[in-house]
Amino acid sequence: MSLKDKIDIKNLPQHIAIIMDGNGRWAKMRGKHRVFGHEQGVISVRDTAEAAAEIGVKFLTLYAFSTENWKRPATEVEALMKLLVQTIHQETKTLTDNDIRLKAIGDLDSLDKNCRKELIEAMNTTASNKRMDLVLALSYSGRWELTETFKALANKVRSGILNPDDITQEVISNNLNTAGMPEPELLIRTSGECRISNFLIWQSAYTELYFTSKLWPDFRKEDLYEAIIDYQQRER
């Protein structure tokens, strides 16, 4: 019996979020440049997205680049952006073949023109796909998102279309980048680090956390199944 058969399909998390960490260490262990680890990480993204869609997960949110990641050496940032453009370009057809819709959250205006263009094209091409939403968090951080949301709400108050007394948790949720998405029931982080690193901080108030020492480039379908089985054994 494979791990997949142990998953209770009726009790699947609708939304899984992943902090894909450990690419640099994976490459370093092999005497390679960090970028090699990021390249290998793309294979894990493909495998994990396919597995999630196959079993019936509705939303998969991947932390691909944080607001803080801009502080990395320029060569690494450039390589990551190039890899992102390349991957989106190459994978759009596979996404459509698998009926997966591509979405993005984060400060997309901070991405370079070419990257934004590729991303918007892929989002438009896949817009009517229905099996699963694959959400890339790009130049994203939870505090950035909350700050933007508070600014937007303050502007609505200033222009008289929102009464401060009407600001509820629901109103805040509906003004986040993730508006319309359910909160993640399961958040996975690879590489043995046990932090949230400014990921979906509002949305993960009640999320089950799952940490694995596997480095992201080693993460495969079976690892996703293992995380889901662990989640299903918890009391909620």
Site residues (vs ligand IPE, CB under 6 A): 19-25, 63-66, 69, 80, 191, 193, 195, 197, 216
CB atoms within 10 A of CB 31: 7
CB nearer to Mg ion: give 45 or 102: 45
Closest residue to ligand IPE: CB criterion: 24
- For residue 33, give the 3-state DSSP assignment: coil
- Minimal distance in Å, beta carbon 59 to ligand IPE? 18
Closest residue to Mg ion: CB criterion: 21
Q: For residue 137, give the nearest of 7, 3, 20, 12 by alpha carbon.
A: 20
**46/35 Cα distance (integer angstroms):** 17
Q: For residue 62, give the nearest of 21, 96, 26 by alpha carbon.
A: 21
CB 217 within 8 A of CB 23: yes
Task: Locate 99 and state its tokens.
Answer: 């009926």
Q: With 0-12 CB in 10 A as exposed, 13-18 as middle and 19+ as buried, what is 1? A: exposed
Residue 65: name its binding partner from Mg ion, ligand IPE, none (Cβ under 5 to 8 Å by kind): ligand IPE
- Minimal distance in Å, beta carbon 190 to ligand IPE? 8
- Minimal distance in Å, beta carbon 58 to Mg ion? 27
Residue with token string 């690419």: 23
Residue 13: name its binding partner from Mg ion, ligand IPE, none (Cβ under 5 to 8 Å by kind): none
Residue 19: name its binding partner from ligand IPE, Mg ion, none (Cβ under 5 to 8 Å by kind): ligand IPE
Q: Which of 5, 8, 11, 21 is catalytic?
A: 21
DSSP per-residue string spanning 192-234: T----TTSSTTTTTTPEEEE--S-GGG--HHHHHHHHHHHHTS
Task: Answer yes or no: 69 catalytic.
Answer: yes
Task: Answer yes or no: 21 catalytic.
Answer: yes
CB nearer to ligand IPE: give 129 or 199: 199
CB nearer to Mg ion: give 41 or 106: 41
Phi, psi dihedrals of residue 123, rounded to the nearest 5°: -65, -40
Q: Which of 47, 69, 107, 218 is catalytic?
A: 69
From the list 17-25, 36-44, 77-85, 132-140, the region that binds Mg ion by CB under 5 A is: 17-25
226 lines the binding site for Mg ion (CB under 5 A): no
Binding residue (CB under 5 A) for Mg ion from 21, 91, 118, 145 = 21
Residue 217: name its binding partner from ligand IPE, Mg ion, none (Cβ under 5 to 8 Å by kind): none
**199/137 Cα distance (integer angstroms):** 9
Signed CA dihedral, 136, 142, 143, 146: sign only: positive
β-pairing verdict for 186-189 and 132-140: unpaired
Residue 40: name its binding partner from Mg ion, ligand IPE, none (Cβ under 5 to 8 Å by kind): none
118 lines the binding site for Mg ion (CB under 5 A): no
Catalytic residues: 21, 69
